[in-house]
């Protein structure tokens, strides 16, 4: 506190006790004068210790001069403001700030300072506002998309009751669009929205809604930069706008894995203070056709089957995943295919190093500075690295690529607890054919502290690129068959020839790409 020069220091009342209130460019602090005389307790952020409290300026949401007839802070009671000019409580201003509550959860708290002098009150309000105006990473204007049908269909209610009031308190202007159909937000962002007007886009919904908005923004950015999304060789342009997520879906894994909770108020406060986190995006292609982007889970086998089954049960809301999960678990299907991947090199850690990705993560920082260096040095192209591809052929219950931890309320540490949000890699998890009991043991470990990779039938690799091809030629459409020269007859005879003895029918799964089914099973991922 002493190192920063003081902007203001006054004796003001809080709940009729006299406080020494100080403001410098980093911290607002208030100290109970009488208690401070008795104790020499040190102030801690946002908490009261021996009568002292302080809050970093960057966590102040707003400051407001208090009207004469507004309810008094803390008591909630309506109070008549004393008329005597000597009354130290005649004028007041309220500071709204971030308070930490449960783990990773934030709350908007407030404190009201009273003083006898109106001009002093105004000076405080004005000075705090000036300091807030210097925080240039805060958004002023936001474009909000609400999916009214995500999760438990409470998106609109969550936004109206929990988020809009704090945005308006923080003087953020918003244009709100309640979507009328699937892909409404994506198409609007891709072709119509005047993005120059906004400092960010807000997604009220689940992972599927986030995916729509991310696709809209990423595609728009590539169109404007002249990048061909169908080409696997081109480098994507990063988006200029940030996406804020107000969780209102069924899994909310992208929100949970970035913010640490699925609480709408916490998310709204992170948006207001201008926090940001870079995020890896995988592009998924089939031959030279772009299919989709993925930021959380690309899953074939178990998670593909859970999703396929759960789509028919959308009316059940979030419970559909549990019902389909049990059903898929019991069906115990395995799939054959070949996975090839390009392992990540350098100091990118390993999926089993137990290092969790946090704000300012050193691995992600290192990775982005490495990318800048390699760009400048025009480093070896992917074609030259062909020989380092690893090829694994086998029978799998699940093939999962987690580009982030995929932590969510169902699995608080996620599918790959040490995966990084922005290191340019994805953790490829191969679960080979095993008994039901073993698979259950593996699944259960997603919900406790045990290592889900510590099984003989599970392998995990940190990779930059991977490919998958199912053992049997995929039969996506007649066009595909004609193109690849494989006839339906030939496909069937191949199966019959190879499975004459066991009589079982080998099948194909679908890829679950952030909660959407991909139309192809043979994919290339970067
Ligand atoms: C015994 C309990 C085991 C619990 C195991 C829980 C593991 C959960 C891991 C969740 C990983 C989520 C990854 C995120 C994916 C999102 O991009 C996507 C879109 O929102 N969500 C899903 O695909 C939704 C995927 C939802 C998957 C739910 C799977 C539930 C499995 C239940 C198996 C029960 C077996 C019981 C046998 C008696
Ligand atoms: N107005 C709408 N009507 C129908 N579908 C919509 C509408 N708006 C968005 N959608 C679609 O609804 C799908 C699901 O939405 P969302 O992700 O918000 O909820 P969820 O699937 O319940 O949650 P999660 O993705 O976290 O599992 C998205 O893929 C989105 O494209
Ligand atoms: Ca990653």
CATH code, domain with 28:
2.30.29.30
Residue 28 tokens read as 């607002």
Quote the CA–CA distance of 43 and 19 in Å, as a whole number.
13
**Same domain membership, residue 330 and residue 214:** no
Question: Looking at ligand 1, which residue's alpha carbon is closest to its atom 1?
Answer: 444
Q: Is 481 inside any structural domain?
A: no
Residue 141 — very low, low, confident or very high, per pLDDT cuts 50/70/90? very high
Q: Which of 32, 207, 280, 423 is catalytic?
A: 207
Mean pLDDT of the chain: 87
pLDDT at 497 over 70: no
The ligand whose atoms approach the alpha carbon of 513 most closely is 1
Asked which of 85, 117, 133 is the last residue of a domain, the reply is 133
Residue 482: the pLDDT is 38
> How far is the centre of ligand 1, averaged over its atoms, from the C-alpha of 435 (Å)?
19
Q: What are the b/e assignments for 304-343, b being 16+ CB within 10 Å?
A: bbbbebbeeeeeeebebbeebbeebbeeeebbbbebbbbb
Q: What are the b/e assignments for 146-184, b being 16+ CB within 10 Å?
A: bbbbbbeeebbebbeebbbebbeebebebebeebeeeeb
SS3 content of the chain, % helix, strand, coil (to 5): 30, 30, 40
Quote the CA–CA distance of 13 and 115 in Å, as a whole number.
6
Which of 215, 279, 207, 307 is CA-nearest to residue 248?
207
Is the minimum distance from the CB of 261 to ligand 2 under 6 angstroms? Answer: no
Handedness of CA 489, 492, 497, 500 (dihedral sign): negative
The ligand whose atoms approach the alpha carbon of 307 most closely is 1
pLDDT at 489 over 90: no
Residue 295: the pLDDT is 97
pLDDT by residue (tens digit) across 447-457? 999 999 999 99
Q: Is 289 inside any structural domain?
A: yes
**Same domain membership, residue 31 and residue 171:** no
**Same domain membership, residue 124 and residue 203:** no
pLDDT by residue (tens digit) across 13-32? 999 899 999 999 999 999 99
Quote the CA–CA distance of 296 and 282 in Å, as a whole number.
9
Name the most confidently modeled range: 82-96, 344-358, 422-436. Answer: 422-436
Asked which of 90, 114, 133 is the last residue of a domain, the reply is 133
pLDDT at 107 over 60: yes
In the chain, % of residues over pLDDT 90: 75
Asked which of 217, 246, 276 is the last residue of a domain, the reply is 276
**Same domain membership, residue 91 and residue 175:** no
Q: Is 444 inside any structural domain?
A: yes
Q: Is 357 inside any structural domain?
A: yes
Residue 80: the pLDDT is 43
Q: Is 498 inside any structural domain?
A: no
Contact assessment for residue 472 and residue 494, using Cβ atoms and an 8 Å cutoff: yes
The ligand whose atoms approach the alpha carbon of 464 most closely is 3
Question: Looking at ligand 1, which residue's alpha carbon is closest to its atom 21?
Answer: 515
**Residues at CB less than 6 angstroms from ligand 1:** 206-207, 251, 253, 296-297, 303, 306-307, 321-322, 325-326, 329, 406, 408, 410-411, 415, 440, 443-444, 446-447, 512, 514-515
Contact assessment for residue 57 and residue 132, using Cβ atoms and an 8 Å cutoff: yes
pLDDT by residue (tens digit) across 365-403? 888 777 665 555 544 454 445 568 999 999 999 999 999
> How far is the centre of ligand 3, averaged over its atoms, from the C-alpha of 398 (Å)?
19
**Same domain membership, residue 219 and residue 319:** no
pLDDT by residue (tens digit) across 47-84? 456 789 999 999 999 999 987 544 444 444 444 444 44
pLDDT at 361 over 50: yes
Is the minimum distance from the CB of 212 to ligand 2 under 6 angstroms? Answer: yes
Residue 300 tokens read as 């074939």
Question: Looking at ligand 2, which residue's alpha carbon is closest to its atom 6?
Answer: 182
Residue 411 — very low, low, confident or very high, per pLDDT cuts 50/70/90? very high
**Same domain membership, residue 218 and residue 352:** no
Quote the CA–CA distance of 446 and 413 in Å, as a whole number.
7
Quote the CA–CA distance of 412 and 452 in Å, as a whole number.
13
Q: What is the mean pLDDT of residues 314-338?
A: 95
> How far is the centre of ligand 3, averaged over its atoms, from the C-alpha of 281 (Å)?
8
Question: Beta strands of 166-235 (E only): which ranges?
Answer: 173-178, 200-205
Residue 51: the pLDDT is 84
Q: What is the mean pLDDT of residues 207-229?
A: 97
**Same domain membership, residue 126 and residue 180:** no
**Same domain membership, residue 147 and residue 100:** no
The 3-state DSSP class for residue 331 equals helix
- Selected residue with higher pLDDT from 485 and 285: 285
Best residue among 318, 326, 409, 443 to mutate for probing ligand 1's pocket (most ligand atoms within 8 Å of CB) is 443
Q: Which residues pair with residue 470 across a beta bridge?
A: 337
CA distances from 167 to 98, 172, 369, 429 (A): 13, 5, 34, 40
Is the minimum distance from the CB of 262 to ligand 2 under 6 angstroms? Answer: no
Residue 39: the pLDDT is 63
Residue 35 — very low, low, confident or very high, per pLDDT cuts 50/70/90? confident
Residue 511 tokens read as 């890829």
**Same domain membership, residue 219 and residue 337:** no
Query: Could you give the number of structural domains in the chain?
Result: 3
Q: Annotate 410-463 with DSSP letters as a single string.
A: TBTT-SSTT--SSSS-EEEEEEES--HHHHHHHHHTTSSSS-TT-STTEEEEEE
Best residue among 147, 210, 299, 410 to mutate for probing ligand 2's pocket (most ligand atoms within 8 Å of CB) is 147
pLDDT at 499 over 70: no
Residue 224 — very low, low, confident or very high, per pLDDT cuts 50/70/90? very high
Quote the CA–CA distance of 169 and 315 in Å, as a whole number.
36
Residue 366: the pLDDT is 85
In the chain, % of residues over pLDDT 70: 83
| Domain carrying residue 108 | 6-133
> How far is the centre of ligand 2, averaged over its atoms, from the C-alpha of 300 (Å)?
21
Question: Beta strands of 67-218 (E only): which ranges?
Answer: 91-100, 106-115, 141-146, 173-178, 200-205
Residue 473 — very low, low, confident or very high, per pLDDT cuts 50/70/90? low
Residue 475: the pLDDT is 52
Is the minimum distance from the CB of 515 to ligand 2 under 6 angstroms? Answer: yes
Number of the ligand 2 atom closest to the C-alpha atom of 186:
31
User: CB neighbours of 151 closer than 8 A, spacing ≥ 6?
Assistant: 205, 206, 248, 249, 250, 252, 317, 318
pLDDT at 477 over 50: no
> How far is the centre of ligand 2, averaged over its atoms, from the C-alpha of 84 (Å)?
58
Cβ neighbours of 209 (radius 10 Å): 29
**Same domain membership, residue 55 and residue 77:** yes
**Same domain membership, residue 83 and residue 55:** yes
CATH number at residue 317: 2.60.200.40
Q: Is 374 inside any structural domain?
A: no
Which of 92, 93, 113, 88 is CA-nearest to residue 30?
113
> How far is the centre of ligand 1, averaged over its atoms, from the C-alpha of 480 (Å)?
32
pLDDT by residue (tens digit) across 278-323? 999 999 999 989 999 999 999 999 999 999 999 999 999 999 999 9
- CA-CA-CA-CA dihedral for 336, 415, 270, 5, to nearest 10: -120
Is the minimum distance from the CB of 150 to ligand 2 under 6 angstroms? Answer: yes
ipTM over the 0.90 cut-off = yes
Q: What is the mean pLDDT of residues 405-420?
A: 95
> How far is the centre of ligand 1, averaged over its atoms, from the C-alpha of 335 (Å)?
19
Is the minimum distance from the CB of 205 to ligand 2 under 6 angstroms? Answer: yes
Is residue 207 among the annotated active site residues? yes
pLDDT by residue (tens digit) across 241-259? 999 999 999 999 999 999 9
Q: Is 15 inside any structural domain?
A: yes
**Same domain membership, residue 149 and residue 126:** no
Q: Is 318 inside any structural domain?
A: yes
């Amino acid at each position: 506190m002493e190192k920063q020069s003081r902007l203001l220091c006054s004796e003001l009342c809080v709940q009729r006790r006299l406080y020494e209130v100080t403001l410098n460019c980093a911290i607002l602090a208030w100290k109970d004068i009488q208690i401070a005389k008795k104790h020499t307790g040190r102030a801690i952020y946002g908490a009261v210790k021996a009568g002292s409290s302080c809050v970093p300026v960057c966590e102040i949401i707003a400051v407001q001069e208090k009207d004469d007839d507004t309810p008094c802070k803390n008591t909630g009671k309506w109070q008549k403001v004393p008329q005597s000019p000597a009354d130290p409580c005649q004028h007041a201003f309220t500071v709204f700030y971030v308070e930490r509550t449960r783990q990773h959860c934030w709350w908007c708290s407030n404190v009201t300072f009273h003083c006898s002098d109106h001009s002093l009150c105004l000076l405080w309000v004005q000075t705090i506002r000036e300091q807030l105006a210097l925080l240039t990473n805060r958004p002023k204007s936001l474009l909000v998309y609400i999916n009214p049908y995500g999760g438990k269909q409470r998106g609109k209610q969550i936004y109206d009751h929990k988020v809009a009031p704090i945005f308006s308190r923080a003087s953020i202007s918003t244009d709100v669009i309640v979507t009328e159909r699937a892909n409404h937000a994506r198409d609007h962002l891709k072709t119509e929205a005047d993005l120059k007007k906004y400092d960010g886009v807000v997604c009220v919904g689940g992972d599927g809604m986030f995916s729509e908005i991310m696709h809209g923004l990423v595609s728009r950015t590539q169109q404007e930069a002249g990048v061909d999304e169908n080409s696997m060789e081109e480098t994507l342009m990063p988006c200029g706008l940030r996406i804020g997520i107000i969780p209102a879906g069924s899994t909310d894994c992208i929100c949970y894995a970035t913010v640490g909770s699925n609480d709408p108020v916490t998310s709204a406060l992170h948006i207001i203070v201008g926090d940001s986190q870079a995020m890896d995006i995988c592009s998924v292609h089939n031959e030279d056709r772009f299919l989709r982007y993925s930021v959380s889970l690309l899953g074939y086998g178990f998670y593909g089957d859970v999703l396929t089954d759960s789509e028919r049960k959308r009316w059940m809301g979030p419970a559909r995943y549990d019902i389909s999960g049990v059903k898929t678990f019991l069906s115990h299907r395995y799939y054959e295919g070949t996975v090839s991947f390009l392992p990540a090199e350098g100091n990118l850690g390993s999926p089993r190093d137990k290092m969790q990705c946090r704000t300012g993560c050193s691995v992600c920082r290192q990775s982005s500075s490495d990318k800048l260096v390699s760009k400048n040095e025009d480093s070896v192209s992917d074609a030259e690295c062909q020989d380092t591809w690893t090829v694994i052929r086998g029978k799998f219950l699940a093939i999962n690529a987690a580009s982030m931890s995929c932590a969510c309320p169902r699995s608080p540490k996620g599918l790959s607890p040490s995966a990084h949000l922005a290191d340019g890699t994805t953790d490829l998890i191969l679960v080979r054919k095993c008994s039901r009991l073993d698979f259950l043991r593996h699944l259960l470990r997603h919900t406790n502290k045990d290592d889900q990779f510590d099984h003989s039938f599970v392998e995990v690799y940190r990779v930059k690129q991977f490919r998958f091809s199912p053992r049997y030629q995929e039969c996506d459409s007649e066009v595909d068959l004609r193109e690849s020269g494989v006839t339906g007859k030939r496909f069937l005879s191949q199966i019959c020839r190879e499975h004459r003895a066991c009589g079982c029918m080998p099948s194909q799964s679908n890829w679950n790409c952030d909660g959407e089914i991909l139309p192809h099973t043979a994919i290339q991922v970067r």
